[in-house]
Amino acid sequence: MPLRATRPAATAVAGLALALLAPAGAHADSTVKHADDAAHDTYNSVRKDLAAAKRATAKYRDEDQAIADGYMPTDACAESPEGVMGYHYANPELIDRELDPRTPEVLVYQPDGYGGRKLVALEYYYVDADQDVETDEDRPHLFGEPFDGPDEGQAPGLPVNYTLHVWLWQHNPSGLFSPWNPAGSCEA
């Protein structure tokens, strides 16, 4: 599955820019090498975290296993003009705990075409510390990506929060970390 490499590429470009701006005789080659090494390390770290998330959530391709492990199913399939998310199954025990790529707070399902639902994405959910949508000093990151938000709670009683969708189980032409998937469907 292709990864968006914008952050590592930006790091490499920044290293190249530093090398070009370095005074004559400076160690420009080591600056570029260091930037390339950092970009490579970041890329490898993201790949490892994504692989760990996929291994840890593979069991949730079985919707019954997700429910047995505390993920609560919903009957509303989220869709917008930008695409589809799907049915969100949140695990209340995981909300407001330390973020871990292997334990997403929410699993996202879509109809499988046979009367059931298939796992399509993981959603990481983080409660905003100050509950103010105008500030974002506590914006979390996972997989080298900043979370979307802060946003008002998606339902009555839910707190202001940040979210990050990761489409590990369905291709998303808008990107691995895009909230909406134009290739998804809420149709059974």
Q: Where are the domains of the chain?
A: 6-57, 60-166
Q: What angle do CA 62, 45, 21 make, to 5 degrees?
A: 145
Least confident of 7-16, 49-58, 67-76: 7-16
Q: What are phi and psi of 34, to 5 degrees?
A: -60, -45
Distance between CA atoms of residues 41 and 45, nearest Å: 6
Residue 34's pLDDT band, with cuts at 50, 70 and 90, is: low
Between 155 and 112, the more confident residue is 112
pLDDT surpassing 80 at residue 87:
yes
> With bands split at pLDDT 50, 70 and 90, how would you rate the model's confidence at 33?
low
pLDDT for the residue numbered 4: 33
Question: Which stretches does DSSP call E strand in the chain?
Answer: 77-80, 83-90, 106-111, 117-127, 141-142, 145-146, 148-151, 161-166
Q: Tell me the average pLDDT of the chain.
A: 85
